[in-house]
Amino acid sequence: MATSAGGGVGNVVSYKSAADLSSYQYRFVTLSAANTVNLSGGTNEMPEGVLINKPASTSAASDVQIDGIAKLSMNGTCAYGNVLCSGTDGRGLLADATGDVHVRAKALEAASAAGDIISVRLINQLGTTAGL
């Protein structure tokens, strides 16, 4: 694997942006049928990966890390080993064990506040967090 421009280690794919995503580096993004990415909108969406650059316009190149070790901006607190999904703002959110969510990452360090950027291992898990 290669070191990504975002500081992680994993595979990076470039897509066109569906909007100005310059304020959303290290957040989850989803892929549309038009093959463009936009900010992930919550736990019921499966993020394509984590945006590692700052595309400033529609159709700009969006570099998305799809696996490996990535940086992720957090929605709130978490502990090492917690599994994470996307919040409505594309930030990592502690996955709720009672609901169906698209778990997309496992925390490799703790976050103490919203906006913290932590290292995560990107994973793909559909369903409840039971057994993880």
- Whether the Cβ atoms of residue 29 and residue 21 lie closer than 8 Å to each other: yes
Give the pLDDT confidence of 71-114 residue by residue, as tens digits. Answer: 999 999 999 999 999 999 999 999 876 566 788 999 999 999 99
Does the global pTM surpass 0.85? yes
Order of strands across the sheet with 117-127? 68-73, 117-127, 101-107, 83-86, 92-94
Residue 95 is predicted with a pLDDT of 87
Listed by start position, the domains of the chain span 12-67, 69-127
